[in-house]
Amino acid sequence: MTDAPRRRKVAVPLIDRANYGRMKPVLAAIQRHPDLELQVICSGSMVLERFGLPIREVERDGFPVCGSVYIEIEGSIPSTMAKSVGMGVIEFASELQRLKPDVLLAIGDRYEMLSVIVAAGFMNICIAHVQGGEVSGSIDESIRHAITKFAHYHFPSTARSADYIVRMGESPETVFLVGCPSSDLAFAMLDGGADLDAEVINATGSGAHIDPNRPYLLVVYHPVTTSFGRETAPVEEILHALDRLQLPTLWLWPNIDAGADHVSKVLRRFREERQPDWLRLVKNYGPEVYARILARAAVAVGNSSSFVRDSGFYGTPVVLVGDRQEGREYSENVTPVDPDRERLLDLIRSKLVKGRYAPSHLYGDGRVAGRIAEALARVPLYVQKKLDFIHREDPWPTRSFGHESLLSTSIPGSVRSSA
């Protein structure tokens, strides 16, 4: 009798609430796959009390949290972000040494994620990356592309992103154009209906009571790290515009990036001085609840990547403020605007009049997680990376094919052409 083949261990670091929301369908797909073993590592704001301890929701959802890594250094300034990355490399190296994963699956462009990627890269662990090749603002732009150069396999969300990854010198055979896993959550929710209970939406946070059956605004504004020290003015402009509207508004606290304390201070001062009866401030919602809130919002205002990526699935009107998401692909429901109170006010009002847009599938078709899990089970694992174009007669391979061939190319073990 021969022993059954060992399942391939896949470590998935989760570092914030958005991270978990987008990766939740992938975690479930990995957990279901007979040839894979899931190892969840929680870090960043996932393990912090002031962000509502999202790690507890991961555990309640039945995923195995194999480790908690504390890396965040207080201060909310650029140097503490840099130091947190250094702390993360040290702490994640210890955790990866203990868990010994076969492959590490990372998503996005966060600085906490960069730290685990650096550790895994030096430890000869095969790395797969979700959402590579995208363009955005802030330091996230550089982090995302740095992770791409560390990663051995790539799961981009759009055809343009796949093309950009190849242009960066990555072999087309390692690029799987599958879509964004957040589409899985969106489509599953829409199939079941986007009902939202008032008790759920008001169970956390403080301020105005929000009736989900009446028009409300959703606001998320994160600091732009490359504009550190200048992040309060946009928040004040948004608040002035919303104070003129006086519509019920859900505002989620910012992430942990440098400048977050400055954003939070403006919100607290406004709440204390004006005592607005239209504003509710909330730390965190679980993935499904947040998806329903975004789907039902009359207008979403701010600079969250979810407003660019996920809002299109629901046709939610979006006023995209500032340059944090500059260069992103977005659907017609999204309109960028500078943080000026009069322009913001006019645009929000016009979006309210216009109403909902047709749904967009720019970022996925709702069947992404299974493709990622299947690829992780089948691809050959390797460690040594090389620039692809130095091995070709044509140094710029993307000149010889377009998006269509990226979508249709068949390679051994590939799920590229899955639909």
The class level of CATH for 8-181+368-408 reads alpha beta
Looking at residue 404, what is its pLDDT?
41
Could you read off the pLDDT of 350-379 as tens digits, one per residue? 999 999 999 999 999 999 999 999 999 999
User: Residue 352 burial by CB count (10 A; 0-12/13-18/19+): exposed, middle or buried?
Assistant: middle
The token pair that represents 366 in the structure block? 């709702």
What pLDDT does 230 receive? 85
Q: Where does the pLDDT of residue 317 fall: very low under 50, low under 70, confident under 90, or very high at 90 and above? A: very high
Q: Which two tokens stand for residue 186?
A: 């969106």
Determine contact, residues 218/250, Cβ cutoff 8 Å: yes
Question: What pLDDT score was predicted for residue 194?
Answer: 66
Which tens digits make up the pLDDT trace of 258-275?
899 999 999 999 999 999
> What is the band of 228 on the pLDDT scale with cuts at 50, 70, 90?
confident
pLDDT value, residue 1: 47
Report the relative pairing of strands 206-207 and 279-282 from DSSP bridges: antiparallel
The residues of the chain that CATH labels 3.40.50.2000 are 8-181+368-408, 186-354
Residue 368 tokens, joined? 């992404």
pLDDT digits (tens, 9 = 90+) for 21-48: 999 999 999 999 999 999 999 999 999 9
Percent of all residues in the chain with a pLDDT value above 70, rounded to a whole number: 91
What's the topology of domain 186-354? Rossmann fold (3.40.50)
Q: What is the CA radius of gyration of the chain?
A: 21
pLDDT, tens digit, for every residue of 160-212?
999 999 999 999 999 999 999 999 999 988 876 668 889 999 999 999 999 99
> How many Å separate Cα 148 from the centre of its chain?
15
**pLDDT higher at 104 or 407:** 104
